[in-house]
Amino acid sequence: MIAIGCDHGGYQLKLELIDFLKEKGYEYIDLGCNGETVDYPDIAEKVCKEVVEKRADKAVLICGTGIGISMAANKIKGIRAALCSDYFSAKYTRLHNDANVICFGGRTIGYGLAKELLDIFLVTEFEGGRHAARVEKIMKLEDK
Ligand code: RB5
């Protein structure tokens, strides 16, 4: 199950990514917005809650740049959100960081590239091994 959400800056890209999820046969839950002006931290909170409470396996967040919504997402306990605009990062944030949320900038990335990045993000498994201890250290920073 994939949770997806955006602010007004990410709405068009969200529609494209929903088409992609449907084409690939993923189940998804769309938590808004529907094109109206909203505050991206509110969407980040709603969408990330689906992941933290295990109703979704992973999530997609989109705002204008992808920056604000990824900053907000990474404040939530249990979330490892990665803002991606290149293939290597989208793949390695799964392999090495076990990212559970991918973020995009609706005003900074093309639809075709975003779909490729989402594809590799969703099919790539965490490598574990030496990376597991590093991810644990990231998660311990939540207590600081
Ligand atoms: C909204 O205009 C814009 O600030 C937002 O989508 C995002 O880019 C923030 O980081």
pLDDT digits (tens, 9 = 90+) for 67-121: 999 999 999 999 999 999 999 999 999 999 999 999 999 999 999 999 999 999 9
Ligand 1 atom closest to the CA of 8, numbered from 1: 6
Residue nearest to atom 6 of ligand 1 (CA): 64
Cβ atoms 30, 62 nearer than 8 A:
no
Q: Ligand 1 center to residue 68 CA distance, Å?
A: 6
> What pLDDT, on a 0 to 100 scale, did the predictor assign at position 118?
99
Query: Would you say 17 and 115 are in contact if contact means Cβ atoms under 8 Å apart?
Result: yes
User: Would you say how long the chain is, in residues?
Assistant: 144
The pLDDT of residue 126 is 98
Q: What is the residue whose two structure tokens read 């933290």?
A: 52
Where residue 13 falls among pLDDT bands split at 50, 70, 90?
very high
The 3 state secondary structure assigned to the chain is CEEEEECHHHHHHHHHHHHHHHHHCCCEEECCCCCCCCCHHHHHHHHHHHHHCCCCCEEEEEECCCHHHHHHHCCCCCCCEEECCCHHHHHHHHHCCCCCEEEEECCCCCHHHHHHHHHHHHHCCCCCCHHHHHHHHHHHHHHC
Closest residue to atom 3 of ligand 1, CA basis: 64
Predicted local confidence at residue 24, as pLDDT: 98
d(CA 87, CA 53): 28
Instruction: Find out whether 93 and 74 touch, Cβ atoms under 8 Å.
Output: no
- Can you give the pLDDT at residue 52? 98
Enumerate residues lining ligand 1, CB below 6 A.
Answer: 7, 9, 40, 63-65, 67-68
pLDDT at 42: 98
Threshold 0.95, pTM exceeds: yes
Identify the residue whose tokens are 């997609």: 60
Q: How many angstroms does the Cα of residue 132 sit away from the middle of ligand 1?
A: 33
pLDDT digits (tens, 9 = 90+) for 58-71: 999 999 999 999 99
Tokens of 69: 């919504």
Confidence of residue 46 (pLDDT cuts 50, 70, 90): very high
* Average pLDDT of the residues in 36-47: 98
Positions marked active-site: 63, 96
Q: What share of the chain in percent tops pLDDT 70?
A: 100
